[in-house]
Amino acid sequence: MTSEFGANPPAPYAGDSGFSASLAGVNKVYAKALEQIEQNQLVEAHETLEEVRDIMADMRRRNQVVVFSDHMNAYHAEMEHFLTDGEKALAAPNGMLELMAKAGALEYLARRLESEAPASLLKNEEFAGLLKAVEKSVADLKAALFAQDAAKVKEAIGKLKGPYSKMFIKFG
């Protein structure tokens, strides 16, 4: 891709002085992930490949390009906070309140998945069903937080990733 577009970026990236550097960054990440895959370091490779999403999002942001995947990625980033730090936060003083605040952000981003989806996706029954599952997982988390039931909060956190992953695989 760098050899084809690096010197001659397509619209709307033609005026982006960082375009070639972004492509080089993507190539570097792919090379690193390939090495990790060859060493059977699949979890590490997955994490490495997520860097591509950030590079591409930054490039689109510099060029005022917004795609639905950006909204999927924003939700994913907030969801990851729950998955990686949720139980730890729950055990901390005011943890339930901290998680409630983060749940508000997650709920907002889930709503953006609907409001920013292209019309073609909104007409797609499979998309609508997967979106409802994502929204339900967030609503279940909020309900557990409102009930101040730590066990239900942990359970709800554990159920955030599944619906999102199914939606991302098909529509992200």
The whole-model pTM stands at: 0.82
Share of the chain above pLDDT 90, in %: 87
CA atoms in the 13 A half-sphere facing the CB of 79: 24
* CA 113 – CA 118 distance, rounded (Å): 10
Amino acid identity, residue 58?
Answer: D
Q: CA 27, 34, 30 angle in degrees (round to 5)?
A: 20
Confidence of residue 10 (pLDDT cuts 50, 70, 90): confident
pLDDT by residue (tens digit) across 27-66? 999 999 999 999 999 999 988 998 998 999 999 999 999 8
Residue 22, pLDDT score: 93
* CA 10 – CA 15 distance, rounded (Å): 9
Q: Which residues contact 167 (CB under 8 A, 6 or more apart)?
A: 72, 113, 127, 130, 131, 133, 134
Rounded to the nearest 10 degrees, the angle between the axes of helix 68-91 and helix 42-62 is 130
Residue 41, pLDDT score: 95
Q: Which residues contact 101 (CB under 8 A, 6 or more apart)?
A: none
Residue 131, pLDDT score: 97
Q: Does the pLDDT at position 6 exceed 70?
A: no
Calculate the average pLDDT of the chain. Answer: 93
Helix or strand (DSSP H, E) at 157: helix 150-158
